[in-house]
Structure 1
C-alpha cells in the first residue's frame, strides 16, 4: 500500500523553470536599440553613465544615468510584469556599432573636447548567451532545492509516510510487526495480576478467535487502561505487543492534533485503514484524553472544533458501518472521568481495566524485576524495601532502584547497600539533603520543636501513622521532615482522619506551647489539613452538621461550571464546619503537648543533638506505643523511661475488680 501520496515537488519545479525561461526571454527584448549618432548625442548631453562593449557580438550595452532614467518613460516596462525579475543588470539601450576602431576614436575625441562628460567604457568578457542561461538556471535550481529541503522535508518530517507536507494527514503510528518486534513480555510486568489476566485474554482473542466466535461471542472492540501515572499502563501495552505476534500500531493521542483543520480526522481514517489492511491487529493510543475529552464542555471555539471532529471520526471507526474486522483498540489514560460517554459505551471500549497502585506483595515483585541488573549487598531485603515504599508506583520503584545505584556509586561503594536504598527513598520523597545550609540557632530550635511536636502527637494518638524517622536537616524546600509508614487500608474512618489531622497540626501546636507564638513553617501542614477537612465535609459526608451529603462529581462536569452545587447559606455552614474541625484538632494537639511537655523537651533535645532520630529514640522517651499490635493482649506498663523506673515492673491494677486496665481510649488519659 502506497502511503506517500502524489509528489508535488517536481511539477512545481517544472513550472518554476518555465517561468524562469519566460522571464529571461522577455527580459532580453526589453532594451531599445540606438544608433551611433543617437548614442553620441545622448553622451554629449551627459545622459549616458556607462557603455559595455562586446567585441564578439559587435554590439554594446548602454546604461543611462539615474537622472536620465527618471526622466525617461519606458512604456514597455509597464506592459511587461517580468521585466524586474531578471537576474543580470539590464541595459537601457543596445548599440550596434560598425567599425570598433572608428567608434573608439570618436568616443575618445568627444571626451577630450568636453571634459565634463563622465561616461565610462568597459569590455564584456566573451561569454556566450547559452552559458549565461545555464548559470542562471543552476542558481534557480539551487534555490528550489533549498526550498524543497527546508519546507517539504522539515515540515513533513514525522507528518506521515513520505515525509511531505501534502501527506500531513497520514497516520503517525509506529508499526511493530514481524520485522520489528518488541522484546517486552508479560514476564517483564511484575504485579498487576488482574490487569494482566484481562489483557492476556485479549491476546488470546486475536490468536484463537475461533475458540470464542464459534460459541457466538464477539471479539471486544476496545480495552481502556485506567490508573494513576506510573502504574504500568504503557508497559502493559508493550507486553501485549510482544505477546500478540500481530501487527501493533502505537501512537499518542496528541499525534492526531495539528493546527490544520481536518488533519486529525484524516489521520484516524488512515490509521484504521492501515490496521484493517493488516488485520488482525492492535491499535494502542496512549493518553487518549487528548482527543477523547467530553464534547460540548468548555468549547469557546464554536461547534467546528478540530478535536471534536477527530473524536467523531474515532467513534465512527470503532463502531460504525462496515467495521467487522479483527482490529482491537487499546487506550490508556489517567483521566477517565473526563472522557466522552459515547467513547466509553459498550461496543467501543467494551472493557475498562483499572491499574491501581501496587500493594505490598506486588511492590516486592516489582523490586525483583528492577533489582536484577543491580549489584546488591547481601543485607538488602526486598521485603523490607517493599514495606518502606507504600503508595509508590512502578515508575517510582524503578526510580528508587536507579537512585540507590547512583548514590552507591557516589559514595564509592562496591555494591548497593540497604542504606543506599533508604537514602534514595528520602531523596525522592523529601528532596536533596542540604547539610551546608546556614540556619540560625533560634530557627533550628524552632524546627526541632516543630518536628518533635509531629512525632509526639503521632506517637500518642491511636490512629496516626507509625513514625519511621525525624530529621531537622534541610531537604529540598523544607527545613525539617518526619517520615511515617502509613497503614495500607481501603477504608478510612472518621477517627482515623481526625487523628491524622491532629498529628499534622502537632508542629504548629508545639511552637505555640513552647514559644507562645507561631511561624510560617506550617504552610504544608495547614494545606494538608484544610484539604482533609474539606473532603470530610463536602465529599465523604463525615460532618454531622452538614449531613450525609456529597458534592463530589465523579463525571468531571463540574470542572467546567462556574457555579457551586450548593447555596450561599450552605457554603457558610461548610466554611464554619471546616474551621471547627481544624480548630478542634489544633486545641487537642495543644492539650496533648501541654500534658507531655517534659517528653516533648526531651525529644527536641535529642533531635538537636543527633539531627536525625528513629523509632527507637522515641521508644526511649515514650516507651512502647499502647496501640502496637504486639501489645494488644499484654498488660499496659508504665511509660516512665527506664532510667526512672523502680527495680520491679509496676502493672496498673483496677482497685475494685483487681484486673488489668486495658489501653486507654483517649490519648489525653496517658
Structure 2
C-alpha cells in the first residue's frame, strides 16, 4: 500500500473520468493502474509531461525513487470503464498498458481490529475511576476503604465563623457546652483535683431548637480537631461496615486528641437493641451500636476525646448508651421562652433591613412555641414578603403576614366558595370565637378569618399563655372552645357538617390524655398508661384489661359530649350576638378582638396581656398575628406549643 499518495507528498493530482478520456484520446497516457476495481492511477508519457496542460502533474521531489502516478480518480462501473478504454485504444491505435492492483489499508485494518479492546479498556478505566471516588486515592480505593470513617474533620485552620455569640438563648445548654470546651482547652485544671473529663454529652430537644448549632459553636470555639458526621453515615448494606467505621473514627480522634466527635441524629444507630426485631436476623445497626458502646467505654478517660451527640428521640435510645460513663451528661435544649425568643430575633434580624420602629418585644410575644428554626424562617418569610411588595425595609406588618403564612399556610385566593359554604364557615368560626370569649381558661382570641389557608377554609386564631403545667379546668375549657364550631352549626342550622374534622381529632386526643395519661378521671383514678421509655410501642398487649378499656372509651366519650353540650348551651344563650358576629365576618372576611368587644363587651376573664392597650388595624391587608391553641402534651414533644383552631376542611 502507498501511504503517501496525494497532492502534498508526490504531486499526484485528482482528475475525473471525462478528463482522463481526453488525455487517453490525445495519446498522453502510458499506463493505467486500476486499484481495487474502483480507483484509477494514471501515468503520463515523457512527451505529455512537457506539455503546459500537464505542468501541475510533476513527479515527486521528496521521494525521487518512487514512480508515482500523475493523476488519480475514482470511477463507477468497472466493465463500462474498461469498454471505454479499449474502444479508444482501438480507435486511436494506442499501446497504453492497462494493469490491475489490489491494495490493503493495513493501518485502518489494525485500528478496526483493536477497537473492541480499546472500548473495553475505556469502560474498565471509567469504572475504576468511579469506584475510586473523587478523593484521588487510586483505582478501587473506595472498595478497600469502605470501612473507613466518613467523618468530616474541622480544625483550627478551617474558617468556622460560628461561635457561642451566634447562639442566642439556651443559656443553660451553652453553660454546659462551654464547660466541655474548657475541659479540652485546659484539662489539668480539672484533673489536678482528681476529676475525670466526661466522655460524652447528649443534646436532647425538639427539632429546630439549636442542637446542631450548638455543636457548630463548639467547633468554632474549641480550636481542637472536630469530627462531625451523622448517625446514618455508619449504616451500610455490608455487614460489619458500621462497626469498622466506628473503630476507625475513634482511632483518628485518639490520634489527634484532644478532640471532639459529634454524631448528629444518633438515634439512627442508637436505638434500643431488640426493639422491633421480629425477624430475628442479624442487625447491622445493633453491631454498630455494640461497637460504639465498646469504644466509649474502652478508651482511656484522659485521652482527651469527648463525644457529642444530638437527637430529638431520646426515648428510643438504648439504656446502655445513656448510662454514666458513656454519655455522662444529658443537655436538654427546650423551646425558647419569651426572653430567649427576643435574643433569637436579635440574631436573625441583623442581616435584614428593618424599620426603625420595629418592636422586637412585640414579635417575641406573638410567637409562643416557636423554635429557633421557626423564628429564622419567619424572618426570612418577612423579608420575602417585603421584597414581593417592593418595600425598602421589612416592617411590622411583614412579620405578622409571615406568621400567618407559617402557621396558617399559604392563602388560597383561587379557592371559590359558594354563598352557602361561606355562611357555614362564618358561623363555624364565630362559634369558636363566641365560646372562647366566655370561658375563663380559653386562650385569648386575636382574630377570626374565613379566608382559606392551607388545608383550612377558616380559622379562629389565639395567643396562648406559656404554661408550665395545665389544670383539668384549662383543658376542658380548651376542648369546649374547640367544639364551639360544630355546636354553632347545630344551633343555627340544626344540622352539622364534616368541617369539624380537625376539631374532633384534637378534642379526642385531649380527652384520651385526661383519662389515660394524666390520671384526671375519677373512675380510672390516679393511674397512667403512659410509657416514657417507648417500650409499649412495640408491644401487642395493652397494659389494661378489656373491662378497663370499655370504661376508658365511655369516659372519653362522656368528656367530649359534656363539653359539646356546654358549648351548645353557651351559644344558645348568646345566639343573637353570634348571628351579628357571623354577619360581620361574612362582610369583612377577617375580624379582630375589637369587633368582638363591640358585640359582646369586654371579655369577663382578661389576662394581664389582654389588659394592655392595643390598636391593631382592622383591614384584611393589615393582619394581627394569629397563634395556635396549645395541644395537650403527648408522648412526643411538639415542635410548637401553639396551634390554631382550624375550621372547615375540604
TM-score normalised according to structure 1 size: 0.74
Alignment correspondent of 1:225: 203
Q: How far apart are the structure 2 equivalents of 1:385 and 1:280?
A: 42
Gaps of 5+ in 2: 1-35, 37-100, 612-650
Q: Structure 1 residues 604, 159: CA separation in 2 closer, same or farther (over 3 Å shift)?
A: farther
The CA deviation string for residues 104-148 of structure 1, in whole angstroms up to 9 with x for no partner, is xxxxxxxxxxxxxxxxx9864335999888766644432321221
CA offset at residue 609 of structure 1?
Answer: 1.3
User: Helix, strand or coil: the match of 1:182?
Assistant: coil
Q: Confirm or deny that 1:147 pairs with 2:143.
A: no
Alignment correspondent of 2:106: 126
CA offset at residue 178 of structure 1?
Answer: 2.2
User: Helix, strand or coil: the match of 1:224?
Assistant: strand
Q: Confirm or deny that 1:306 pairs with 2:284.
A: yes
Paired residue total: 512
Alignment correspondent of 1:33: none
| Alignment map for 1:208-607 (pairs within 5 Å) | 208-320=186-298, 322=300, 324-607=302-585
Q: Is contact 1:152-1:164 (8 Å) kept?
A: yes
CA offset at residue 244 of structure 1?
Answer: 0.5
Q: Is contact 1:153-1:163 (8 Å) kept?
A: yes
Alignment correspondent of 2:175: 197
Question: Greater shift after overlay, 431-440 or 450-459?
Answer: 431-440
Q: How far apart are the structure 2 equivalents of 1:561 and 1:474?
A: 41
Alignment correspondent of 1:41: none
Q: Structure 1 residues 258, 486: CA separation in 2 closer, same or farther (over 3 Å shift)?
A: same
User: Helix, strand or coil: the match of 2:367?
Assistant: coil
CA offset at residue 179 of structure 1?
Answer: 2.3
Q: Is contact 1:452-1:600 (8 Å) kept?
A: yes
Q: Structure 1 residues 606, 131: CA separation in 2 closer, same or farther (over 3 Å shift)?
A: closer
TM-score normalised according to structure 2 size: 0.76
Q: How far apart are the structure 2 equivalents of 1:582 and 1:160?
A: 69
Q: Structure 1 residues 272, 477: CA separation in 2 closer, same or farther (over 3 Å shift)?
A: same
CA offset at residue 499 of structure 1?
Answer: 0.2
The CA deviation string for residues 12-54 of structure 1, in whole angstroms up to 9 with x for no partner, is xxxxxxxxxxxxxxxxxxxxxxxxxxxxxxxxxxxxxxxx9xx
The CA deviation string for residues 606-656 of structure 1, in whole angstroms up to 9 with x for no partner, is 1111110111111111111121146999xxxxxxxxxxxxxxxxxxxxxxx
Q: Is contact 1:161-1:167 (8 Å) kept?
A: no
User: Helix, strand or coil: the match of 2:541?
Assistant: coil
User: Helix, strand or coil: the match of 1:223?
Assistant: strand
Q: How far apart are the structure 1 equivalents of 2:390 and 2:198?
A: 54
Q: How far apart are the structure 2 equivalents of 1:191 and 1:612?
A: 35
Q: How far apart are the structure 1 equivalents of 2:428 and 2:114?
A: 85
Q: How far apart are the structure 2 equivalents of 1:596 and 1:266?
A: 71
User: Helix, strand or coil: the match of 1:170?
Assistant: coil
Q: How far apart are the structure 2 equivalents of 1:160 and 1:471?
A: 64
The CA deviation string for residues 454-474 of structure 1, in whole angstroms up to 9 with x for no partner, is 001111000000001110011
CA offset at residue 571 of structure 1?
Answer: 0.4
Q: How far apart are the structure 1 equivalents of 2:595 and 2:330?
A: 48
Q: How far apart are the structure 1 equivalents of 2:146 and 2:424?
A: 62
Q: How far apart are the structure 1 equivalents of 2:610 and 2:371?
A: 33
Q: How far apart are the structure 2 equivalents of 1:162 and 1:143?
A: 14
Q: How far apart are the structure 1 equivalents of 2:238 and 2:203?
A: 30
Q: Is contact 2:199-2:301 (8 Å) kept?
A: no
Q: How far apart are the structure 1 equivalents of 2:110 and 2:139?
A: 41
User: Helix, strand or coil: the match of 1:164?
Assistant: helix
Q: How far apart are the structure 2 equivalents of 1:162 and 1:243?
A: 38
Q: How far apart are the structure 1 equivalents of 2:406 and 2:523?
A: 40
Equivalent position to 2:146, from 168, 178, 186: 168
Q: Is contact 2:129-2:140 (8 Å) kept?
A: no
Q: Structure 1 residues 392, 559: CA separation in 2 closer, same or farther (over 3 Å shift)?
A: same
Q: Structure 1 residues 306, 459: CA separation in 2 closer, same or farther (over 3 Å shift)?
A: same
CA offset at residue 325 of structure 1?
Answer: 1.4
Q: How far apart are the structure 2 equivalents of 1:196 and 1:538?
A: 37
Q: Is contact 1:160-1:171 (8 Å) kept?
A: no
Alignment correspondent of 2:158: 180
Q: Structure 1 residues 514, 163: CA separation in 2 closer, same or farther (over 3 Å shift)?
A: farther
